[in-house]
Amino acid sequence: RPGFAQMVDLLIMVAPAASAAAWFAAMTINLLLASRLVERRGISLRPWASFSSLAFPRRSSLAVAAFGALSLLPGTAGLIGSVYLAPFCAAFAVLGLAVVHHLLINHPARISLLAGLYVALVLLSWLVVLPLVALGIVETGFNLRARSKPLPPVNRNT
């Protein structure tokens, strides 16, 4: 059964990166739930920033490129590259979502469009995640949100 052996080899190769991306997604969901809980109970130490104002340093896209290149190497170096690349890609997908949220501010069909996007994200994950990653990387380099609409004010309480 050469097909089965190839499938097992593929799963072994993809498992560490998928695990890292899943961990990042789970921690992001936990952060969101925890922030909503402390906000609802009135015990938050500072106001929660708007999701659409999420931003990364410009150099963070260089890390994606470096880990992407490293992941193409054979052996342990490639494994390490893919394990670091996966959560970076997940983070840039979240940034892509923040860009979409920002671009849809005051749009009459905002809720429907966002609901459709999230349903597609669940049902078609990689087909939707890859464009979101690309959008996040483009945002980091070209600041699309600032060109379209001003970003919401960021509270600098630290």
How confident is the prediction along the chain (158 residues), in pLDDT tens digits per residue?
568 888 888 888 788 877 877 887 788 888 888 888 988 888 888 777 788 888 999 899 999 999 999 999 998 899 899 889 988 998 999 999 999 999 999 899 999 999 999 899 888 877 888 999 999 999 998 888 887 766 555 555 43
- Judge whether 153 and 113 are in contact, CB under 8 Å: no
Contact of 80 with 70, CB cutoff 8 Å: yes
Helix axes 75-103, 2-41, angle to 10 degrees: 50
Helix intervals (H) in 42-154: 60-71, 75-103, 110-123, 125-142, 144-148
Closest among 139, 64, 126, 127 to 100, alpha carbons compared: 139
